[in-house]
Structure 1
Amino acid sequence: MTDFKKIRTRIFLSNLLAFAIVITGFAGAVRFVFVRNLRQQLTERLTALGQGAAAGAELEEGELDLEAEFQERELLERRQALQVFDLRGHLLEQQGEDTTTLPFDSELTVQIQSQAPPVQAVTLPIFDSDNRQLIGYLRVSQSLKQFERTIRQLDYGFGFGALVALLLGCTGSTWLNRQVMQPIEESIKRLKQFTADASHELRSPLMVISTNTEVALTYPQGMRTSDEEKFQAIASATNQMSQLTEDLLLLARTDNIADFERKRLDLSVLLADLVHLYRVQARAKQIELKTEIASNLELIGDEAKLTRVFTNLIQNALQYTLEGGNIEIFANRHGRELRVTVTDTGIGIEREYLDKIFERLWRGDRSRSYVRAGSGLGLAIARAIVQNHGGVITVTSQIGVGSCFQVCLPATHTSVNST
């Protein structure tokens, strides 16, 4: 179920991110077009105002005269201003207060002053109404405070709309994820239940085959040599099938958190017992087994299932480590978690296989050729148990150097470390 929660969360976040990108892109595009059109309309209004003011302009006795007159009060009410410049760019006349402080430039048709006060200005040439000669320039400006207020209101509207859209998107995404994942989860549950039921039902016939094979091998009188070899092959295959059946049944039960027995236990005692159990096997293979286990490593968990986790890790280390190699088991507390590492000097695992070794029924080619293949479920079972305890299991490895498995589990309280 933990995997399903992760999948649902990943799908939810992916949908939310995609929805947010769409909303942001849509809002950005609409805002860009709106601001552009609004600014263009402002430029057109200022241009029309300037053209009306410059119409009929004349140069009399060296002075620029605009026949069109504007009431300064109207310019003040509309937050507009007029500035008249001669050909050299000297200011000759000014009406209104909202003028730009930017330097005059006859080459720039539109000027925008962003600092206070925000102003947009349009510069137009003035031609003599009689001979159409250039006699000066007229700069029409408009305060941008109302423009900025409109854009700010637009941004507030987009922000509120985006927030509402995201909330609705979250609700819709959650509902859709539930609708999509529910049949998948039910199918997986049925498959797990079938696996558990099938494994349970296979135990009896396999036990019958194994028992009868053992009896036949125990009393081989009258049995041909070739028949004895066949019975031994049957016994070996039956043992492998029995192990696979037990592992499938355990894995199906391990996926169900309700099957876990929760109680306070000392991980240091559990590990010490396992080390004592496998030290004889390590000596038989001339493997040096080093340990450094802190005391009082207490946690809440299922002792039998955690024993299965570390039994699997130690057995793997012994199987894949050559004679004369080393195995190190360290256990201590780091903050609020307990860390156990099992390091060996074995054959190692290829880098591209590190993400696959916890998959069910997966085995690498090097491990197939080195030891007799097991069920391929040991590490999958270990990961399921650790995850259902709220922990994580990771691995690092290098070919020809060895592997290091680390298990992190939540601790119950502060422990006192000792070597």
Structure 2
Amino acid sequence: MFQKIRYRLFLSNLLVLALVLLGSALAVRLVFISNLKQQASEKLMAIALSTAASAEVDERKFEWEIEFPPQLLEEAEQAFQWFDAERKLLEQQGNIRYISTLPFEAEPTVRNQIDDKGLEVITLPILDKNNQQLIGYLRATQSLEEVDETIARLDVGLAVGAIVATVLSSLGSGWLNRQAMEPIEESFERLKQFTADASHELRSPLMAISTNAEVALTYPEGMRSSDGDKFKAIALATDQMSQLTEDLLLLTRTDKVASFEFNKIDLTTLLTDLVSLYRPQAQGKQIKLKAKINYDLWLIGDEAKLARAFTNLIQNAIQYTPAGGEIEVSSNRLGREVVINIEDTGIGIAPEHLDLVFDRLWRGDRSRSYYQGGSGLGLAITQAIIYKHQGTVDVTSQIDIGTCFIVRLPIALASPGKIVSF
């Protein structure tokens, strides 16, 4: 039980950590990329503005002062183009790979664009310093490959960091979970031990009370007539308490492997015997108890414990099925497991109570109650036994239609035998 809790707690912690790391990584990535591209754009804009400021018209000839060394432009992955007012190319500097073919916009305004080759393009109109007339254009371009490579390295770094952080955090989370669960497990073990000890110690006084009540009822001489009913009530209450202590003792032992004797079991025989055993009781309530069970169903498990589990389910069906109803015990092989259904046409269980039927000592208004000296632990015991056999038990139900308990157990050996119905 605690192993599953540890596992769920570990996965929950790991999921929360992964979401936090993912959110942090995305935030860091977005901010870093935004700043990186902004810095690259500002740098290119600053160069373009200073270059455009040096341009002038001398005797109707468009001239500029700044010249860029080819090696510097190649290293910076940049290129510059000068155009006259009619947008005719006058000169260009830089590698042709960094030359953009974007068309000019209709209006001579400053534009920052990204072309289809992934180049950043800044187009500046150049105005005459004297009369502010348009004399040409400067187009500065630069490759964003270096920016993309930096982003790729950032992604790798974030991914590696997230993986390392997840591994280290998972180790730390596992250690913290163990530390947190140890006191709980110790308290639970002490509680189970106390329950087992108390149940064991209650056996003797309850047996003494039951024996004396039976003797008094067997030899009623000298007993007032009204005392007989009192002794019967004492005997009935004693039987209920005895059943409760036995059930509590069994529940405290289900978590101990040593209390189970695993052997090869003929499940077909076990189920048919149980149906035959409880058929008279069902008939006494005018209930039809039928079976449809496969031949040659073999399991590895504790036969006595499994018999107790299926007995609880059959008795539960008989108790909550009204006269004229039906109960069917059926089995079916599905791959490496066998599915056993105990289905009745009883009063059913309310949908909001389906998750509670296996809780210890739980009682619902219509779906579950103490009955005929029952302890209210039958379904909890069944669930514990089935889980110990690496199986599952589920329930489906509808009010006034019926209930079906579905037990799945791993099968040890299954030949393609026929189905026996009786």
Name the amino acid aligned to 1:290: K
1:131 alignment counterpart: 131
2:2 alignment counterpart: 4
The structural deviation recorded for 1:32 is 1.4
2:178 corresponds to 1:178 = yes
d(CA) in 1 for partners of 2:178, 2:368: 41
d(CA) in 2 for partners of 1:282, 1:108: 93
d(CA) in 2 for partners of 1:316, 1:258: 28
Where do residues 146-161 of structure 1 align in structure 2 (5 Å cutoff)? 146-161=146-161
Q: Which moved more, 1:71-80 or 1:301-310?
A: 71-80
Name the amino acid aligned to 1:30: V
The structural deviation recorded for 1:389 is 0.5
d(CA) in 2 for partners of 1:87, 1:363: 92
d(CA) in 2 for partners of 1:303, 1:213: 34
d(CA) in 1 for partners of 2:369, 2:162: 59
d(CA) in 1 for partners of 2:226, 2:311: 37
- Whether the aligned pair in 2 keeps the contact of 1:57 and 1:129 (CA below 8 Å) is no
2:11 alignment counterpart: 13
d(CA) in 1 for partners of 2:277, 2:100: 89
The CA deviation string for residues 121-174 of structure 1, in whole angstroms up to 9 with x for no partner, is 222232212223333332211111111111111111111111111110110011
1:22 alignment counterpart: 20
Aligned residues between the structures? 415
d(CA) in 1 for partners of 2:344, 2:335: 26
Indicate which of 68, 78, 81 corresponds to 2:79: 81
1:296 alignment counterpart: 296
The structural deviation recorded for 1:12 is 0.5
2:142 corresponds to 1:142 = yes
d(CA) in 1 for partners of 2:234, 2:111: 96
Q: Secondary structure at the match of 1:104?
A: coil
2:354 alignment counterpart: 354
Name the amino acid aligned to 2:112: V
- Whether the aligned pair in 2 keeps the contact of 1:320 and 1:370 (CA below 8 Å) is no
2:109 corresponds to 1:111 = no
Where do residues 379-394 of structure 1 align in structure 2 (5 Å cutoff)? 379-394=379-394
Q: Assess, with a 3 A threshold, how the Cα gap between structure 1 residues 62 and 417 changes in structure 2: closer, same or farther.
A: farther
2:382 corresponds to 1:400 = no
- Whether the aligned pair in 2 keeps the contact of 1:56 and 1:129 (CA below 8 Å) is no
2:254 corresponds to 1:254 = yes
1:58 alignment counterpart: 56
Q: Which moved more, 1:339-348 or 1:101-110?
A: 101-110
d(CA) in 2 for partners of 1:108, 1:215: 111
The structural deviation recorded for 1:290 is 2.0
Gap regions ≥5 residues in structure 1? none
1:239 alignment counterpart: 239
d(CA) in 1 for partners of 2:323, 2:415: 36
d(CA) in 2 for partners of 1:368, 1:74: 86
The structural deviation recorded for 1:88 is 5.9
d(CA) in 1 for partners of 2:90, 2:49: 18
The structural deviation recorded for 1:412 is 1.2
The structural deviation recorded for 1:62 is 5.9
d(CA) in 1 for partners of 2:3, 2:110: 61
d(CA) in 2 for partners of 1:155, 1:367: 57
Where do residues 331-350 of structure 1 align in structure 2 (5 Å cutoff)? 331-350=331-350
The CA deviation string for residues 58-115 of structure 1, in whole angstroms up to 9 with x for no partner, is 24566543232223332122210112345565544322121234433466732224x5
Gap regions ≥5 residues in structure 2? none
Q: Assess, with a 3 A threshold, how the Cα gap between structure 1 residues 91 and 292 changes in structure 2: closer, same or farther.
A: farther
Q: Secondary structure at the match of 2:342?
A: strand
Q: Which moved more, 1:373-382 or 1:346-355?
A: 373-382
1:70 alignment counterpart: 68
The CA deviation string for residues 290-326 of structure 1, in whole angstroms up to 9 with x for no partner, is 2110011111000000000110111111111111111
d(CA) in 2 for partners of 1:109, 1:42: 15
- Whether the aligned pair in 2 keeps the contact of 1:288 and 1:324 (CA below 8 Å) is yes
Calculate the aligned-residue CA RMSD, in Å.
1.9
Q: Secondary structure at the match of 2:81?
A: strand
d(CA) in 1 for partners of 2:318, 2:88: 94
Where do residues 259-298 of structure 1 align in structure 2 (5 Å cutoff)? 259-298=259-298
- Whether the aligned pair in 2 keeps the contact of 1:83 and 1:140 (CA below 8 Å) is yes
Percent identity, aligned pairs only? 59
d(CA) in 2 for partners of 1:211, 1:370: 24
Q: Secondary structure at the match of 2:54?
A: coil
d(CA) in 1 for partners of 2:328, 2:239: 31
Q: Assess, with a 3 A threshold, how the Cα gap between structure 1 residues 68 and 353 changes in structure 2: closer, same or farther.
A: same
1:377 alignment counterpart: 377
1:319 alignment counterpart: 319
Q: Secondary structure at the match of 2:122?
A: strand
d(CA) in 2 for partners of 1:279, 1:378: 19
d(CA) in 1 for partners of 2:88, 2:351: 76
1:47 alignment counterpart: 45
